[in-house]
């Protein structure tokens, strides 16, 4: 009765929940199966569509082959949209093993089942961090740039992307990879820079800034990313990769100063701390392929997206 059954992994996480809140309403003709292990990063309360008739939640681990085989048998997904991951770079430096298990082994488990169950499309949600670090004047990277990951997190995501590529080339699985820049917006875990700084500043505390704060990131509003994923999922060409950038490069110190201004605090709210080991200097991606082929580009202006984000996070005690 449904046109498609989409297995969405990691749909209780930051980006997955934004995607599902939009897609479940936008596509009543699709059935969405949200598969999530509910790690520390997940929060089912962020899902506003939990009672929708075309949505179901399954609590399971993508690395558990038997559980995944049962799930594919029971729900018979026609498409896989793969968000689930260990996603925090600092955690990957402390404890790389979980990143290898979930981001590489888990991806391979899903790819195998997608292949044997003749899934019509497997969409891997990936990151610009797989391209590694850019120098200050270098042009933003396109999809054919070499993969030069530097952290255990980005290496595990790059390995997942390469498996996706291999399953397309070897088995003819219809695949899509999207690589987005740093996301911001409501529902992000407070371990990440923007929510961590907002909650600290709103509680009148100092914020810990790595190194001199000169590292550059490109920022994308999470809703724009969700829309880019949706466009690639529907319009992307099989086997292709699409960069989804926010087109908004900022140094960490600039973001910090913007948040300090919103808090009405001073420069003394910044506490400079030892830099992250192997800290990539700059990420910047060229999204013109997505604009050209998918008709997608980010729509939310950084100042208003950031104000919404600021208003969302309540202070820590």
Ligand X SMILES: NC(=O)c1ccc[n+]([C@@H]2O[C@H](COP(=O)([O-])OP(=O)(O)OC[C@H]3O[C@@H](n4cnc5c(N)ncnc54)[C@H](O)[C@@H]3O)[C@@H](O)[C@H]2O)c1
Hey, which residues are catalytic here? 128-129, 153
6, 41, 209, 255: residue in contact with ligand X (rule CB under 6 A): 41
4, 38, 211, 291: residue in contact with ligand X (rule CB under 6 A): 38
Residue with tokens 């008709």: 295
The verdict on 125 binding ligand X (CB under 6 A) reads yes
The verdict on 31 binding ligand X (CB under 6 A) reads no
Report yes or no: 198 and 162 within 8 Å, Cβ to Cβ.
no
Interface stretch with ligand X, choices 60-68, 252-260, 261-269, 282-290 (CB under 6 A): 60-68
The verdict on 145 binding ligand X (CB under 6 A) reads no
Interface stretch with ligand X, choices 14-22, 269-277, 282-290, 302-310 (CB under 6 A): 14-22
Minimum gap (Å) between residue 82 Cβ and ligand X: 7
Nearest Cα residue to 49 out of 30, 73, 72: 30
Instruction: Please count the other Cβ atoms lying within 10 Å of the Cβ belonging to residue 200.
Output: 21
Q: Which is nearer to ligand X, 10 or 77 (CB)?
A: 10
DSSP E strands: which ranges in the chain?
4-9, 30-36, 55-59, 79-82, 121-127, 175-180, 182-184, 207-210, 216-221, 240-244, 249-251, 270-273
Q: Which is nearer to ligand X, 195 or 269 (CB)?
A: 195
Residue with tokens 């749909």: 11
Nearest Cα residue to 10 out of 111, 66, 85: 85
The verdict on 309 binding ligand X (CB under 6 A) reads no
Minimum gap (Å) between residue 288 Cβ and ligand X: 18
The verdict on 49 binding ligand X (CB under 6 A) reads no
Site string for ligand X, 73-102 (x = CB under 6 A): ----------xxxxx--------------x
Across 234-245, b (16+ Cβ under 10 Å) vs e yields: eebeebbbbbbb
SS3 of the chain: helix, strand, coil, percent, to 5:
40, 20, 40
- How far apart CA 227 and CA 215 sit, in angstroms, is 27
Minimum gap (Å) between residue 64 Cβ and ligand X: 8
The residues that touch ligand X, with contacts defined as CB under 6 A, are: 9-10, 12-16, 36-39, 41-42, 61-63, 83-87, 102, 106, 125-127, 157, 180, 182-183, 189
């Amino acid at each position: 009765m449904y046109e498609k059954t989409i297995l969405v992994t990691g749909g209780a996480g930051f980006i997955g929940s934004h995607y599902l809140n939009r897609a479940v309403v936008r596509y009543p003709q699709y059935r969405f199966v949200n598969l999530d292990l509910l790690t520390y990063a997940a929060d089912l309360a962020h899902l506003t569509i939990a009672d929708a008739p075309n949505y179901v939640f399954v609590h399971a681990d993508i690395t558990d082959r038997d559980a995944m085989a049962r799930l594919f048998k029971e729900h018979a997904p026609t498409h896989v949209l793969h968000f689930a991951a260990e996603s925090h770079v600092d955690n990957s430096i402390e404890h790389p093993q979980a990143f290898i298990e979930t981001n590489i082994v888990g991806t391979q488990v899903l790819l195998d089942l997608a292949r044997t169950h003749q899934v019509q499309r497997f969409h891997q949600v990936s990151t610009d961090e797989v391209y590694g670090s850019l120098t200050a004047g270098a042009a933003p990277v396109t999809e054919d740039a070499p993969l030069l990951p530097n952290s255990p997190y980005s290496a595990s995501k790059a390995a997942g992307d390469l498996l996706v590529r291999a399953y397309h080339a070897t088995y003819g699985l219809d695949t899509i990879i999207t690589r987005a820049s740093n996301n911001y917006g409501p529902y992000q875990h407070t371990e990440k820079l923007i929510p961590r700084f907002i909650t600290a500043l709103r509680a009148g505390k100092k914020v810990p800034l790595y190194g001199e704060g000169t590292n550059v990131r490109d920022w994308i509003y999470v809703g724009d990313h969700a829309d880019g994923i949706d466009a690639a999922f529907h319009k992307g060409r099989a086997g292709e990769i699409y960069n989804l950038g926010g087109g908004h490069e900022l140094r960490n110190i600039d973001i910090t100063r913007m948040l300090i201004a919103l808090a009405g605090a001073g420069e003394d709210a910044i506490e400079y701390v030892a830099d992250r080991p192997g800290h990539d200097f700059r990420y910047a991606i060229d999204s013109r392929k997505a604009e050209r082929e998918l008709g997608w580009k980010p729509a939310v202006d950084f100042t208003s997206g950031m104000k919404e984000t600021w208003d969302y996070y309540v202070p820590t005690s």
